[in-house]
Amino acid sequence: MTTRLAVLYGGQSGEHEVSCRSAASILANLDRERYQVTEVLIDRDGGWHVDGRPMPLPQALRVLRTQEVVFPALHGPYGEDGTVASLLEWLGVPYVGNGVFASAAGMDKGVTKRLLAAEGLRVSPGVTLRAGEELSPDDRRRLELPVFVKPARAGSSLGVVKVNDWAGVAAALDEARQVDPKVLVEQGARGREIDVAVLQHPDGRVQAGPPLEIRVTGAGFFDYDAKYDGGAVFQIPAPLDAATTEVLQDRAIRAFHALDCRGLLRVDFFLPTEGSPEPIVNEVNTFPGFTAASQFPQIWQTAGLEFATLIDILIAGALVDQDRVRYSGLPRQARAVNLV
Task: Give the amino acid at 79.
Answer: G
Distance, in Å, from the CA atom of 299 to the CA atom of 303, rounded to the nearest integer, reads 6
* Active-site residue (options: 9, 35, 95, 228): 228
Contact criterion met (CB below 8 Å) for 92 and 80: no
User: 98 catalytic, yes or no?
Assistant: no
The CA-atom distances, in angstroms, between 327 and each of 59, 70, 91, 98, 315 are: 21, 17, 11, 20, 19
Contact criterion met (CB below 8 Å) for 154 and 76: yes
User: 289 catalytic, yes or no?
Assistant: yes
* Active-site residue (options: 89, 193, 283, 312): 283
User: 29 catalytic, yes or no?
Assistant: no
User: 306 catalytic, yes or no?
Assistant: no
* Active-site residue (options: 251, 254, 262, 266): 266
Task: Give the amino acid at 184.
Answer: L
User: 164 catalytic, yes or no?
Assistant: no
| φ and ψ at residue 25, rounded to 5 degrees | -65, -40
User: 268 catalytic, yes or no?
Assistant: yes
* Active-site residue (options: 180, 268, 312, 321): 268
* Active-site residue (options: 156, 157, 282, 294): 156
User: 186 catalytic, yes or no?
Assistant: no
User: 92 catalytic, yes or no?
Assistant: no
* Active-site residue (options: 9, 10, 14, 15): 15
For residues 48-79, one letter each, b for 16 or more C-beta atoms within 10 angstroms of the residue's C-beta and e for the rest, the string is bebeeeebeeeebbeebbebbbbbbbbbbbbb
The CA-atom distances, in angstroms, between 137 and each of 28, 62, 134, 140, 177 are: 52, 54, 10, 5, 21
| DSSP reduced 3-state for 118 | helix
Cβ neighbors of 141 (< 8 A, separation 6 or more) are none
Helices 242-258 and 109-118, interaxial angle, to 10°? 110
What positions carry a catalytic annotation? 15, 156, 228, 266, 268, 283, 285, 289
